[in-house]
Amino acid sequence: MPAWLEVLLNLSGFAGFVALATRGAPSGDASASGRINTDER
């Protein structure tokens, strides 16, 4: 596999991961913190 193809795959994978992480962060963190708070109480 050419080096440029590996770099391209790595960049596209990283971009996809960042997109999913930033899109799901607000709702995911809010629900997770809410669950933790309700479990502690």
Above 90 in pLDDT, residue 1?
no
Q: Kindly list the distances between the CA atom of residue 25 and the CA atoms of 6, 15, 18, 19, 31, in Å, as whole numbers in the listed order.
A: 28, 15, 10, 10, 10
Q: Tell me, what's the pLDDT at 18?
A: 93
Q: Tell me, what's the pLDDT at 23?
A: 84
The 8-class DSSP code of residue 41 comes to -
For 2-31, the pLDDT digits (tens) are 999 999 999 999 999 999 998 875 554 455
Any alpha helices (H) in 1-41, and if so which ranges? 3-40
Separation CA 1–CA 28 (nearest Å): 37
Q: Tell me, what's the pLDDT at 9?
A: 97
* Three-state secondary-structure class, residue 2: coil
Q: Tell me, what's the pLDDT at 28?
A: 47
Q: Which amino acid is at 33?
A: S
